[in-house]
Structure 1
Amino acid sequence: MQLEVGTVLEGKVTGITKFGAFIELPTGQTGMVHISEIAPTFVKEIHDFVTEGQTVKVKVLSIGENNKISLSMKQVEGQQNGAARAQQGGARPQRSPRPPRRRPEPQPQQHRPGNYEWQPRRNDSADFEDMMSHFKQTSDEKMSDLKKTVESKHGGYSRRSNSSK
């Protein structure tokens, strides 16, 4: 028997790990049902849903490199429930459509207190020399202010040795 993606088979649970369950298929191959494909609800503990030796129906999701077979129990359960509803003549209950998500509209630029311009406009016409001289002038002013502040905190006190006692 050749496996194909989408095929529903019965298999036997041969092993359980924290991330999934290994299923032996009728072909003799082994596939894995990832924890996210065990049930349509949140699965914290796989042992709550399957036990070793149990026969389960699985759907082949993919066949990857080295014949790694990815299986799903959740998708088989969904197919069976849909088929049962169709046999009963009932249609699948319709969900009300979600309204599309809207991105918030951008707020208009608000002026800062005091009408202060926080980001100065770039003067593209200024050349490098002008920018450097402006930077040096600003830097010198800041250093001068810093020196004044430090001197005023020390009160003009200079360190003298107290050896004259």
Structure 2
Amino acid sequence: MSIEVGSKYQGKVTGITNFGAFVELPGGSTGLVHISEVADSYVKNINEFLSIGDEVTVKVLNVEKDGKVGLSIRKAKEQTNSKSLEKRQPRKSTKSKPRDQRPASFEDKMSRFLKDSEERLSSLKRNTEAKRGGRNSKRN
């Protein structure tokens, strides 16, 4: 199967790296979706948007002479209006607040910040004094 620039294909994510995702296209060829071509918004962690085994629609941006295929999920979504291809939202993190809890007041946030920073500062001092030979170390 010949891959043409500008055409859209349904593919399967076969690998994820910190710079993009590899997508297997029909016919057995593989292309790369650069991290900048995953979504319209800024993508810091590609794993929030894609995972291995996901079925995605991609648009072919370029095909180089050495066989490298450049793909885009973002540009494939721009021109389609079907319900199944709407923008994907980042996955929710597993750390979620209980819905009953009201937002903390400014004073609560400040006291929590001060407590955390004092704990971090004391542990930092403990660790650096131990390495440098702090107050109670013997010097020869």
TM-score by length of 1: 0.48
1:66 counterpart SS class: coil
Distance in 1 between residues matched to 2:22 and 2:3, nearest whole Å? 16
Q: Indicate the residue corresponding to 2:30 in structure 1.
A: 30
- The count of corresponding residues between Structure 1 and Structure 2 is 83
- Residue by residue over 1:64-116, the C-alpha shift from the partner in whole angstroms, topping out at 9 and shown as x without a partner, is 131100000000111114x78xxxxxxxxxxxxxxxxxxxxxxxxxxxxxxxx
Is 1:10 the equivalent of 2:10? yes
Matches within 5 A, 1:140-151: none
Secondary structure class of the residue paired with 1:43: coil
Corresponding residue for 1:61?
61
- Give every structure 1 segment of 4 or more consecutive aligned residues whose post-TM-superposition deviation is greater than 3 Å: none
State the secondary structure of the residue aligned to 1:65. coil
- The structure richer in strand per residue is 2
RMSD: 1.3
Higher relative contact order (CA 8 A, sep 6+): 2
| Superposed counterparts of 1:6-155, under 5 Å | 6-81=6-81
Q: Please state whether the residue corresponding to 2:11 is helix, strand or coil.
A: strand
Task: State the Cα distance separating 1:4 from its structure 2 match.
Answer: 0.3
Query: Which residues of structure 2 form unaligned runs of 5+?
Result: 84-140
Distance in 1, matches of 2:6 and 2:48, equals: 26
Q: Percent identity at matched positions?
A: 51
Extract unaligned runs of 5+ from structure 1. 85-165
Return the alpha-carbon distance in structure 2 between the equivalents of residues 17 and 47 of structure 1.
9
**TM-score of the pair, normalised by structure 2:** 0.57
Distance 2:33 2:80 in 1: 18
Paired residue type of 2:63: I
